[in-house]
Amino acid sequence: MLALLQRVRQARVEVDGQVVGAIDAGLLVLVCAEPADSPALAEKLVDKLLKLRVFADAAGKMNRSLQDVGGGLLLVSQFTLAADCSSGNRPGFSAAAPPAQGLALYEELLRLARARHPLVQAGRFGADMQVHLVNDGPVTIPLTVR
């Protein structure tokens, strides 16, 4: 699975002008399933997101996790993370999982995250979404879970 996490002071996702998910301080994570991905990889990604130490401790070092700080987690599906721009000027997206598989893995990711963390919000799979965020730091980290 591919993910791009951003430490945020706040973030929200809108669909058709309506907020469908919003958090205060925490992590906004854009996620993309690939054809070889499995529910086990979704679980591995949730583990990493909840435990990754990207929040400052009292000394100002990135030493605290999302669980440590009690922050929100906003998960947004984004197949464009699998873009292939190696030839021509139009990206290809054949490296992304087919929609049915992507939806199933995204729903599993949400189920696992909600079972382990109290503040989980989500975008809407396949929708035209507007994502608003205030990046904190800025801290933006690409993750690949295999």
* DSSP-derived pairing of the beta strands 55-56 and 62-64: antiparallel
Closest CA to 2 of 121, 145, 108: 145
What's the pTM? 0.96
> What pairs with residue 74 in β-bridges?
28, 121
* Domain range 2-85+92-131, CATH architecture: 3-Layer(bba) Sandwich (3.50)
Q: What is the pLDDT of residue 98?
A: 97
Domain ranges of the chain: 2-85+92-131
Beta-bridge partners for 132: 12
pLDDT value of position 107? 98
* Residue numbers of the chain with a pLDDT score lower than 50: none
Evaluate whether 53 touches 104 at the Cβ level (below 8 Å).
no
Taking CA atoms, 65 is separated from 48, 87, 115, 117, in Å, by 10, 39, 17, 12
pLDDT at residue 20, as a whole number: 98
User: Residue 33 has what pLDDT?
Assistant: 98
User: How do the residues of the chain divide into helix, strand and coil, expressed in percent and rounded to 5?
Assistant: 25, 40, 35
**pLDDT value of position 109:** 98
Residues belonging to the active site: 78-80
